[in-house]
Chain A
Amino acid sequence: MKIFIGDRDGVDFDAPIKVNDKQKNNIIKFLKEMFKVVIVENTDSFRNDRIGDKFFMREWTTREYAVLLEIEDTNKVAEMLGRSWMSVNIKRGAFIPEFLTWTQNKGKDVLKDDTKKLIEEFMKEKQEEIISRRKKRKNIRQIEKEIEKLKDELENLNSEKRKRQIGLAIALGQLRNMTVEEFIQNKKKEINNKIFQLKEKLSKMKE
């Protein structure tokens, strides 16, 4: 097994590691002792890119947002979350105005009221917003993938292999009253329409 150590303090495996139940539980326990927020999730697939291949962006979880508000020292927050000082600082700068607006709208005083309770209340509302934003992002990604798939299909229509398949379907009577070219033209029109509709949907979602 290889462990990659980045020149900017990032740590990564060279590939997913094979573990038995005991090893898995030990690793999770160890990381939970070292970091404040550790979420264990089942996945369908692992990433191919490793540290050094690209710049990684990690989504912020609700529990991590709460840490941003609870702890004063940016270095400490970065250490507890396994994130860079810069990413914590920037996230804080983006998140704080939201919290201040919220407290003002609620008529609260962050200096006088119970901060922990305020954070809990704020995070409860924020969580719903984060979930809906995550759902929206997921839908956008799905539509983008669908468009890519349709574009591939469009390109494949011109391949000799695809033309032979269509010709065969016509010869077998599975496709009636049309030539290979007519079928391809109709299909292209149909796919282009679908792409157009999906792109419209996508731009509305991104508004």
Chain B
Amino acid sequence: MRILIKDEYLDFEAPIQMTEEQREKFIRFMKSLFGDIKVVNVIEKTKEMGDREINPKKWTAEELSLLLTPMSNRELTVKLKRTEMSVKMMRGSFVPEFLVWAKEKGYSLPVRIETIKEFLEEREKE
């Protein structure tokens, strides 16, 4: 995050996302610094996605193995017949989690489908 400063003024570059705990801490801190602070609830603007029906397709171990290759998201979109957003989202959550798990287990890339199945089974048990 960027904190912007000009003369005697300070501001966030853009709104900051905070967990409830962080937010409470932040408000307490600001009150300790400035005393009177008014907290106002607002409705945030979101990116318009439009109305559409979403039918999530389950990811198979074979599909997940492709997420670990250097193939671009665009290439995977075509190969897997999924949207680019769904590829990005799955890559964003699956790959870091899998890499940490595989490293702990001492595996190396490229991994076999069985390894991904093992990962999925372990995660299911959790």
Would you call B80 an interface residue if the criterion is a C-beta within 8 Å of the partner chain's C-beta atoms? Answer: no
Q: Do B1 and A55 touch across chains, with their CB atoms under 8 A apart?
A: no
CA distance A28 to B39 in the complex (A): 20
What's the nearest-Cβ distance from chain A to residue B109, in Å? 5
CA distance A196 to B116 in the complex (A): 55
Q: Do A79 and B5 touch across chains, with their CB atoms under 8 A apart?
A: no
B residues in contact with A7, CB < 8 Å: 41-44
Q: Do A92 and B91 touch across chains, with their CB atoms under 8 A apart?
A: yes
Instruction: Report, as a range, how many residues of chain B touch the other chain.
Output: 35 or more
The residue from A10, A91, A93 contacting B87, defined by CB atoms under 8 A apart: A93
Instruction: Please judge, given known A-B contacts A43-B5, A97-B71, whether A8 and B89 are in contact too, CB under 8 Å.
Output: no
What's the nearest-Cβ distance from chain B to residue A194, in Å? 32
Q: Which residue of chain B is the closest to A82 with respect to CB atoms? A: B16
The residue from A24, A43, A88 contacting B92, defined by CB atoms under 8 A apart: A88
Q: Do B1 and A37 touch across chains, with their CB atoms under 8 A apart?
A: yes
**What per-residue 1/0 map shows which CB atoms of A76-104 lie under 8 Å from chain B?**
00110111100011111110110011001
What's the nearest-Cβ distance from chain A to residue B66, in Å? 11
Interface centre among B22, B37, B90, B92 (most CB of A within 10 A): B92
Instruction: Please judge, given known A-B contacts A1-B36, A17-B9, whether A100 and B18 are in contact too, CB under 8 Å.
Output: no
B residues in contact with A28, CB < 8 Å: 3
Would you call B72 an interface residue if the criterion is a C-beta within 8 Å of the partner chain's C-beta atoms? Answer: yes
A residues in contact with B71, CB < 8 Å: 97
CA distance A193 to B2 in the complex (A): 39
Would you call A14 an interface residue if the criterion is a C-beta within 8 Å of the partner chain's C-beta atoms? Answer: yes
**What per-residue 1/0 map shows which CB atoms of B111-124 lie under 8 Å from chain A?**
00000000000000
Would you call B56 an interface residue if the criterion is a C-beta within 8 Å of the partner chain's C-beta atoms? Answer: no
CA distance A38 to B79 in the complex (A): 39
Q: Do A83 and B17 touch across chains, with their CB atoms under 8 A apart?
A: yes
The residue from B11, B44, B93, B96 contacting A52, defined by CB atoms under 8 A apart: B44
Interface residues in A1-43 by Cβ distance below 8 A to B read 1-20, 23-24, 26-28, 30-31, 34-35, 37-43
Q: Do B46 and A58 touch across chains, with their CB atoms under 8 A apart?
A: no
Q: Do B97 and A100 touch across chains, with their CB atoms under 8 A apart?
A: no
CA distance A1 to B9 in the complex (A): 13
Q: Do A92 and B92 touch across chains, with their CB atoms under 8 A apart?
A: yes
Q: Can you spell out 7 A-B residue pairs with CB atoms less than 8 angstroms apart?
A: A10-B44, A34-B22, A40-B3, A58-B14, A74-B96, A88-B92, A90-B89
Q: Which of A's residues lie within 8 Å of B, judged by CB? A: 1-20, 23-24, 26-28, 30-31, 34-35, 37-47, 50-58, 61, 68-69, 71-74, 78-79, 81-84, 88-94, 96-97, 100-101, 104-105, 109-112, 115
Q: Which of B's residues lie within 8 Å of A, judged by CB? A: 1-6, 8-20, 22-23, 25-27, 29-30, 33-34, 36-47, 68-73, 85, 87-93, 95-97, 99-100, 102-103, 107-109
